[in-house]
Amino acid sequence: DAKTTQPPSMDCAEGRAANLPCNHSTISGNEYVYWYRQIHSQGPQYIIHGLKNNETNEMASLIITEDRKSSTLILPHATLRDTAVYYCIALYSGAGSYQLTFGKGTKLSVIP
Amino acid sequence: DTEVTQTPKHLVMGMTNKKSLKCEQHMGHRAMYWYKQKAKKPPELMFVYSYEKLSINESVPSRFSPECPNSSLLNLHLHALQPEDSALYLCASSQDPGGFYEQYFGPGTRLTVT
């Protein structure tokens, strides 16, 4: 699986959009970009994933660049409950068991 | 029900003790996972069960012994642990072992080895 690079920390004002970048310059054509987050003392939570096209669900939007070398997770209206560590993972999607390899992630602090 | 439950929430054990961690899901998922997370570090994969068979063991010491009695249950048997094994142990499940499906995590068991 391709390595991902994220900033170690970010702040975001409550109610504003939080844009979390991820670099995955060595991603291969059959690797998806997944985002998980981990709120303090809880298990990680799946947020969203995508391959080429931008994706949106009830939690967030995922914007993937055309060359697929980077992506941005967007939380449109951040709340205090969005304070967490956000992990970007590049993952081969194929038959058989697979492994989530968590990097260091970005610690997002939402500030009142 | 999209919940993965883990018991106990907290466990303190001595180095000569034998204990077990339990994980349960009722989502019909066919893949289950154990992760270990040290403080301020990301989770690290330990084991993967696919259709109740062990498919991945990430070079975990034999003092950790996983067991999958049925498709809903996953146990982690602990014996002769070391203080450095103190960590948060997370269980997860996914619909299928294939990479396309998201994993659902339990809240974890916080283990302290004295």
Among B3, B23, B54, B100, the residue to mutate for chain A (most A Cβ within 10 A): B100
DSSP string of A79-101, one letter each residue = -GGG-EEEEEEEEE--SS-----
Is a pLDDT exceeding 80 seen at residue B17? yes
Record: contact A49-B102, CB cut-off 8 A = yes
Prior bond to B8 cis, omega within 30?
A: yes
pLDDT recorded at residue B55: 85
pLDDT recorded at residue B14: 93
Closest residue to A45, CB basis, from B45, B55, B105:
B105
Among A47, A49, A97, A99, the residue to mutate for chain B (most B Cβ within 10 A): A97
Q: How far is CA B73 from CA A47, B27, B52, B85, B93, in A?
A: 25, 11, 9, 23, 10
A87, A72 Cβ separation under 8 angstroms: no
Residue type, B97: P
Rounded mean pLDDT of B68-73?
94
pLDDT recorded at residue B112: 97
pLDDT recorded at residue A94: 62
Rounded mean pLDDT of A26-47?
91
pLDDT recorded at residue A95: 58
Record: contact A43-B100, CB cut-off 8 A = no
Model confidence at B99, pLDDT cuts 50, 70, 90, reads: low
A62, A36 Cβ separation under 8 angstroms: no
What SS3 state is found at B82?
coil
Calculate how close chain A gets to B16, using CA atoms only, in Å. Answer: 27
Model confidence at A91, pLDDT cuts 50, 70, 90, reads: confident
Is a pLDDT exceeding 80 seen at residue B43? yes
